[in-house]
Amino acid sequence: MAVQSLERAFGILRALSLGPAGVTDLSDRTGLPKSTVSRLISSLEGERAVRQTVDGTYELGNGIAELGDALRGGQSIIDVAKPHMIELMELTGEAVGINRVDGDAVRTLVQVDDPESSVLVRDWTNVPVPMHAIPAGLAILANANRAMVSNYLAGELESFTDRTMTDPEQLRERLGEVRADGYVWVFQEFTDDINSVAAPIADGNGRTTYALHMHGPAFRFPGDLDLDEIGRRVAATADRIEAQLQAD
């Protein structure tokens, strides 16, 4: 990208930092021709620096949030979370992971397992999974802005098992329940052999870009464990990680 284009692209990003805008508004804010704005927006979308909302305007994308996290200094999310994850894993012996939003999906950044477990679940680290199919994605989506939620629910909602919830209105209602509870359980909705629970984590900028999850084989987890108690434990651990992230 030429220097002039780079300067103009940053001008658009600065304009979007004031709030979502359409091409015409961005042209007015930056003084650039609409054709130039459209071309640069297309490039920025490809880099996930900008995303289109359900009403056709544009806003800053997850790529910008990720760069902001990298510049924050202090400990990374993995450094902060790891001791808390180990403590939570030792509570039940089930795997615990940290997830991060990645466009319309979530990825596991790190997972800790009980080395003495007789049956280990698959480690999904770095595998993108649609948000509606796992609790980490639902926890993040439940705390996203309305435009992001509407955009996601307007897209293709793939079914992975006969339990996967794919109806947009049912999902919207479910997201409200997640916000109220502070955690969410998913039973065999992504794979037939895994149950999982997750809670949201806001980053240092206050945006819910992470989630903490615990999952295990469906034949064993949660078993006789109290669902609310485990959910609250996961949520409390997520809160501690969040507080430490925002304090650094």
Per-residue pLDDT in tens (0 to 9) along the chain, 248 residues:
577 888 888 888 888 888 788 999 899 888 999 999 999 999 988 888 888 876 788 888 777 766 766 555 455 888 999 999 999 999 999 999 999 988 889 999 999 998 877 777 778 888 999 999 999 999 999 999 888 899 899 999 999 999 999 999 999 999 999 999 999 999 999 999 999 999 999 987 788 999 999 999 999 999 999 999 999 999 999 999 999 988 86
d(CA 168, CA 68): 31
**Cα–Cα distances in Å, from 54 out to 21, 33, 59, 188?**
12, 24, 11, 30
Helix residue ranges, H only, the chain: 3-16, 23-30, 34-46, 62-71, 77-92, 135-142, 146-154, 168-181, 227-247
From the CB of residue 79, how many other CB atoms can be counted at a distance below 10 Å? 11
Summary count for the chain: helices (H), strands (E): 9, 8
- CATH code for the domain defined by 74-247: 3.30.450.40
What is the value of pTM for the model shown?
0.77
CATH topology of domain 3-60: Arc Repressor Mutant, subunit A (1.10.10)
Helix (H) or strand (E) holding 185: strand 184-187
* CA atoms of 38 and 22, how far apart (whole Å): 10
pLDDT of residue 104: 85
The domain locations on the chain are 3-60, 74-247
Structure tokens at 83: 């001791």
Tally of CA atoms within 13 A in the half-sphere of 131 that contains its CB: 30
